[in-house]
Amino acid sequence: MHQLIRYVISAAMLLLFILHISGVVTFSLLEQVENSSYDARVRLTMPNTVDPTVVIADIDERTLQTEGQWPLKRAKFATMLDNLFNKYGVRVVGFDVLFSEPERNSLRDVLGALGDDTETATTIREAVRTTALSSTGEDKLAAALQDRAVVLGMVFQGGDGGQLGTTIGKLPKPLIDAETAEQISANFINALGYTANVEQLQDAAPTAGFFDNPTVSGEIDGVYRRVPLMQTFQGGIYPSLAFEIVRLGLPNPSFQFLYDGDVSGGDYSAAELEAISLGEQRIPVDEDVSVLVPYRGREGSFPYVSVTDIIQGTADPEVLRDTYVLVGTSAPGLLDLRSTPVGGAYTGVEVHANIVSGILENRLKHRPAYVRGLEVVMLFVIGMIIAWSFPKVRPAISALIVLGMVAAVTGVGFLAWAQNLVIPMGLPIAFALSVFLMQLLYGYFIESRGKREVTRMFGQYVPPELVDELADSPDVLNMKGESREMSVLFSDVRGFTTISEGLDSEELTALMNEFLTPLTGVIHHHRGTIDKYMGDAIMAFWGAPLEDPKHAEHALAAGLEMNIAVRQLDDAFEKRGWPKLHIGVGVNTGVMSVGNMGSELLMA
């Protein structure tokens, strides 16, 4: 019965964890445990090196002090791009900033203020219009974008924050049009609105990529662990900023969706999207077409170059030559901070830089859909091992078994991690510890109570090893009356009446204790149960409360050894002036009635 209850406990815990894994119910503590195990693996295994291939063009405090307050003039960005491509020879530039509104022009403001239709006002208006419209910041930046590998940034919006359906600026052409996208089997995140760049700039740039992260809203702690590689809007598929930066920077930018299993005839309905190939790079994705961010280290894992140094042409050419450049900001007040596994205040542009670096180096981890099934199998095995082993070994050994399973899960998790495969660690470990605790509590409050009761009832009558067997298996103990073949032993002292008349009560009690103790030990040694002491007589039986197939053999062996034990008392009795004892022993084997018999007040 106790073993069955232990299995029920493990099964109940397993059901709760499976419901959590399937998403039917969510336990925030369990989710945080798994997230913490993932974050720990990231921190323990990240390279902690600086990748010179990807460079951050930083709009820092020095840039704002030198080039003017935010937003910087579009002409400044135009000069930056000209220098990056012409002077420093960079491979591609991506903007983690938006140009969603036309640049403010003070001369245009003057035009709006000239309302008097006087000859002087007309003359001023014409002069201002000629100057204001002759060369705008948009014109210069648009010219700098032409025929260059530049990726503008944009932001998609979901259905929260009052942004439903908001459209600002102009979207680029989708990476995959709506008609073709219908043939792609994938669970893309669908955007409901966007904020993009002004039309003139977007028309001049070859492409744009989003730098928002809708998956973070599904994280209980808001940590940037994964980022979507693509999203859909009105049927079309649009790429992320990092994806487009790599695509424009590679010599062979073609891409393809890769599915698991053998997909034939173009039927992807039953297949799982596993990865996206981009040239020779393989980018593993999850069910949301998202990638796990491959953090290289803490903030500062990439070279930072101040934008003002690029504009002024004083930056180190060796740092920028043939690199992937991301334009972002670290200036106070503009700082785009993110919470990540490697830091609680991490510059947002470095998140995208890590993805670019990870794609180029094939360092992206993969958490395929089948890990959920693997997780359930791991939980089942752990639960059954604990439920089976706990009653059979001491709690200390059970604890060692659990620690061994925790070590095994940890070892397998890190081995898989080294192969860029992410398998669950936190939940199996939490499950093992939870089931162990529940089994421990059950053993302490329920089983130990039963063991104490058995020990109390039989400890004075049954050999200690039989008491332990009864305590470990109380279900085999039948307290009801039944007929059973058993052996019973009676022994008494020859001439005890005469002996007792020659001793006072104190000496007689001492003699009987000295006499009965070794004989009782002999009976217990041969697995006998003491039924009662009757003065000098002992009644013992074999075959109850636990069955004993060799009851007759054990009873006879006990009777023979009792005679030897009595002779071993002779010297001690002689020294104390007590008479030498002689006993008679009788054994009978047959079918007997056994069970608890007596009254409600006293049982035997």
3-state helix, strand, coil split of the chain in percent (to 5) is 45, 20, 35
Residue 21 has pLDDT above 70, yes or no: no
Burial of residue 112 (number of CB atoms within 10 Å: 0-12, 13-18, 19+): exposed
Band of residue 264 on the pLDDT scale cut at 50, 70, 90: very low
Residue among 65, 246, 88, 217 nearest 156 (CA): 217
Q: What is the CA radius of gyration of the chain?
A: 42
Give every CB contact of residue 344 below 8 A, 6+ residues apart in sequence. Answer: none
**Encoded tokens for 55:** 């460079």
Band of residue 162 on the pLDDT scale cut at 50, 70, 90: very low
Burial of residue 267 (number of CB atoms within 10 Å: 0-12, 13-18, 19+): exposed
Q: pLDDT digit string (tens) for 100-118? A: 998 876 555 555 555 555 5
Say whether pTM exceeds 0.75: no
Q: pLDDT digit string (tens) for 171-192? A: 999 999 999 999 898 889 999 9
Proportion of the chain above pLDDT 70, given as a percent: 80
Residue among 49, 46, 97 nearest 70 (CA): 97
Single-letter amino acid code for the residue at 551 = H
For the chain, give every domain's residue range: 2-33+370-455, 46-255+272-361, 478-594
Helix 74-82 / helix 137-145 crossing angle, nearest 10 deg? 30
In the numeric block, the tokens 């036309």 are attached to 102
Q: What is the pLDDT of residue 126?
A: 61
| Average predicted confidence (pLDDT) for the chain | 84
Q: What is the pLDDT of residue 467?
A: 57
Residue among 359, 354, 326 nearest 340 (CA): 354
Kindly report which listed range (474-483, 549-558, 588-597) carries the lowest average pLDDT score: 474-483
Four-CA torsion 36, 39, 43, 46, nearest 10 degrees? 150
Q: What is the pLDDT of residue 177?
A: 94
Residue among 70, 287, 335, 279 nearest 189 (CA): 287
**Measured distance CA(470)–CA(483) in Å, rounded:** 20
Q: pLDDT digit string (tens) for 299-334? A: 889 999 999 999 999 999 999 999 999 999 988 766
Q: pLDDT digit string (tens) for 417-429? A: 999 999 888 888 8
Q: Running DSSP on this structure, what letter comes out for residue 23?
A: T
Band of residue 262 on the pLDDT scale cut at 50, 70, 90: very low
**Measured distance CA(523)–CA(519) in Å, rounded:** 6
**Measured distance CA(456)–CA(471) in Å, rounded:** 10
Burial of residue 261 (number of CB atoms within 10 Å: 0-12, 13-18, 19+): exposed
Band of residue 459 on the pLDDT scale cut at 50, 70, 90: low
Q: pLDDT digit string (tens) for 232-244? A: 999 999 999 999 9
Superfamily the domain 478-594 falls into: Nucleotide cyclase, GGDEF domain (3.30.70.1230)
Q: Nearest 5°: phi and psi at 429?
A: -65, -45
**Measured distance CA(478)–CA(217) in Å, rounded:** 60
Across 559-563, average pLDDT:
95
**Measured distance CA(568)–CA(103) in Å, rounded:** 114
CA dist 42 to 315, 350, 398, 403, Å?
A: 33, 16, 31, 23
Q: Running DSSP on this structure, what letter comes out for residue 581?
A: P
Residue 22 has pLDDT above 80, yes or no: no
Residue 475 has pLDDT above 60, yes or no: no
Q: What is the pLDDT of residue 268?
A: 46
**Encoded tokens for 590:** 């047959």
Q: Residue 48: which region, alpha, beta or left (left: phi > 0; alpha: psi -120 to 50)?
A: left
Q: pLDDT digit string (tens) for 536-553? A: 899 999 988 778 899 999
Helix 241-249 / helix 348-361 crossing angle, nearest 10 deg? 40
Single-letter amino acid code for the residue at 19 = L
Residue 135 has pLDDT above 70, yes or no: no
What is the three-class DSSP state of 474? helix
Q: What is the pLDDT of residue 160?
A: 46
- Work out the number of other CB atoms within 10 angstroms of the CB of residue 481: 11
Across 81-88, average pLDDT:
96
Q: pLDDT digit string (tens) for 51-61? A: 999 999 999 99
What is the three-class DSSP state of 57? strand
Across 56-67, average pLDDT:
93
Across 525-533, average pLDDT:
89
